[in-house]
Chain A
Amino acid sequence: MTDQEIVAKINSSLAEEFEYDLAAMTPETTLFEDMGLDSLDVVDLVIVLETAFSMKVREEEAIRKIRTLGDIHDFVIAKKRQLEGDR
């Protein structure tokens, strides 16, 4: 998967599961202010990412620092690379 494909998959998954406008999603989009997510949604966010990329992300310290869509892109890309490196 290329970085662009990962970004596209993250955006489309989140748009569908959180009912957000795909066209309005940029790396600067903030999850809490722009997308209207709150602390309750964090678990669902983790579930969406785990399902979309068939990986476990719940143990990650980094997930708590995520503020923008770009942070999610960077996090998943790094995680994918790490998993590929482990193989």
Chain B
Amino acid sequence: MSYDYAVIGAGVSGITCALTLARSGYKVALVERAPRTAPLLRGFSRHGVHFDTGFHYTGGLGPGEPLELFLRYLGVADRIESFSFDEKGFDLFRCDDPAFEFGFPVGFANLREQLLGSFPGERQAIDQYLDQVGAACRAMPYLNLDAELSQESLLQRVIGPSLREVLDRLTGNELLKSLLSVHSLLYGVSSREVPFALHAAIAGSYYQSVRGIRGGGLSLARAFDARLAELGVQVLCSREATAIELGTGGAVTGVRLADGELIPCSTAIATVHPQLLLDLVPEGAFRPVYRKRLASLEETVSAVLCFATCDAPLPALSGSNRFYVPDAGAVNELGGRPVGQGALYLSAAYRNGDPVPAGFIGICPALFSDAAAWQSRRGERPSGYAGYKEEALERLTAQITRAYPELSGRISSIEASTPLTVRDYCATPLGGLYGVKHMVGQYNPQPATRVPGLFLSGQAVASPGVMGAVLSGLVTCGTLLGHDRIRKELKECC
């Protein structure tokens, strides 16, 4: 059996590629190392509570908005049920020093009003910031189907300015800058490094509308599975790709699996971390400069996460996340502070089918180097690791209950994951929560490579998150089939 396309990695971008190509009538194989598709999206359960690991909430999923349109195009929108987050405060920001609280409301106009209420002297900065975010969103190819797709629009991110540069020009108010930078936790790059254009695309989509999915990422993963089956995509799970085979002319001939089987194909799409791609292709396939470029891409921040079940429901967390910072500077130091002393993000976890949260997920940016001493293969951590993990969990729990005393005494079970866990489950060499950084000065790879028949997709190519991963799948398929064609087909779904 020979395939038109073999897609390596059944994460959201790989699934997006597979579905897009299959709906165009191509024969597609989708190869995944894990036992099931989209492992990060699925999350896991403890004591009857489901914990999302790859998806917590998203922008762009309202009717007629980009992600909703993309999911309709992929044939999964009708298989999931989304719900609106709290329109008055989908994210509650709290700072201790100076003492300050802010609820992000849904909608640019509401946000403007709310910001003016908290920062009455910053009218000009607030107006200009929101205008620039709106303009950058509209300029994003694919998010806006009429936006021009050019080399310049791609280079804009490398050139900058950074979010911090834009904010510094607008205001000297550190608290306001901190507040407007807090969503950097959603893409894992500090405000000094993140291109304003990327921040605007992500934060702007949240300012527009904020939704969750009933049943979480697991529901979306199941919807993807059903659609993959419907379109006849050959899904090969528990099958790790070990090599992309090239013919005598240097073009792709197939994907070799760990068990030795060859999946013959004329085109391979690798959605793996770019550094892991280097192990899949023969040494001479890429030029030295490109190899070095992929090898030196910086990775997003890692994290220590905790997963707690509670002995009583937590209605306050329903449709409303928490962002906590001890001081205004903490947002800019992603992972730069010890666990329990930096920024913190809390999101709700639900018991099966219950609309009221029964637990929570806490995420605290952390450096991979903190955990690097216990590096080993998955499931075989050396002694000492358990102690490190326990201490990290204690610090994180102490910070959470200090910041949110209402949670104190209500936690009935709590478990942690470390940067090593993230490394193994996200397949990122340095435990980056969002894979490779998108940062000013860094040239991330494009979908096309100089190996005939080898294309790339994934967070590194377009943007992070579920929306970014879907987007990167579409951009890669646009490179393969023609951007105009994909955009026309998307418009037909509008």
A interface list, Cβ under 8 A from B: 16-19, 38, 40-41, 43-44, 46-48, 58-59
| Contact A47 to B293, CB < 8 A, known contacts A38-B450, A41-B450 | yes
Q: Would you call A18 and B449 a contact (CB within 8 A)?
A: no
> Does B404 touch A at the CB level, under 8 Å?
no
Bound CA–CA A43/B287 (angstroms): 13
Q: Mark B137-162, 1 if CB is under 8 A from A, else 0.
A: 00000000000000000010011000
User: Considering only CB atoms, which chain B residue lies closest to A14 in the complex?
Assistant: B289
Bound CA–CA A63/B443 (angstroms): 16
User: Considering only CB atoms, which chain A residue lies closest to B446 in the complex?
Assistant: A40
Q: Would you call B289 and A17 a contact (CB within 8 A)?
A: yes
Q: Would you call A44 and B290 a contact (CB within 8 A)?
A: yes
Interchain Cβ contacts under 8 Å between A and B, 17 examples: A17-B289, A17-B292, A18-B287, A18-B288, A18-B289, A19-B287, A40-B446, A40-B450, A41-B287, A41-B450, A43-B446, A44-B290, A44-B293, A46-B443, A47-B289, A48-B289, A58-B155
Q: Would you call A17 and B159 a contact (CB within 8 A)?
A: no
User: Considering only CB atoms, which chain A residue lies closest to B445 in the complex?
Assistant: A43
| Contact A43 to B443, CB < 8 A, known contacts A58-B155, A58-B158, A58-B159 | yes
User: Considering only CB atoms, which chain A residue lies closest to B448 in the complex?
Assistant: A40
Bound CA–CA A17/B286 (angstroms): 10
Q: Interface majority SS on B: helix, strand, loop or mixed?
A: helix
Bound CA–CA A58/B441 (angstroms): 9
Bound CA–CA A44/B288 (angstroms): 10
Bound CA–CA A46/B158 (angstroms): 12
7 additional contacts, CB 8 Å, given A17-B289, A40-B448, A44-B289?
Answer: A16-B288, A17-B287, A19-B288, A40-B450, A43-B446, A44-B287, A58-B158
Bound CA–CA A16/B290 (angstroms): 12
B211 to chain A, nearest CB (A): 36
Which of B159, B289, B443, B446 has most A Cβ within 10 Å? Answer: B289
User: Which A residues are CB-close (under 8 A) to B290?
Assistant: 44
Q: Would you call A17 and B288 a contact (CB within 8 A)?
A: yes
Q: Would you call A47 and B443 a contact (CB within 8 A)?
A: yes
A54 to chain B, nearest CB (A): 13
Bound CA–CA A38/B292 (angstroms): 18
User: Which A residues are CB-close (under 8 A) to B450?
Assistant: 38, 40-41
User: Which B residues are CB-close (under 8 A) to A17?
Assistant: 287-289, 292
Q: Mark B434-464, 1 if CB is under 8 A from A, else 0.
A: 0000000001001011100000000000000
Q: Would you call B288 and A59 a contact (CB within 8 A)?
A: no
Within 8 A of A (CB), among B354-389: none
User: Which B residues are CB-close (under 8 A) to A58?
Assistant: 155, 158-159
Bound CA–CA A59/B155 (angstroms): 9
Q: Would you call A59 and B159 a contact (CB within 8 A)?
A: yes
Bound CA–CA A38/B288 (angstroms): 16
A56 to chain B, nearest CB (A): 8
B451 to chain A, nearest CB (A): 10
Bound CA–CA A4/B256 (angstroms): 48
Bound CA–CA A58/B160 (angstroms): 11
User: Which A residues are CB-close (under 8 A) to B287?
Assistant: 17-19, 41, 44
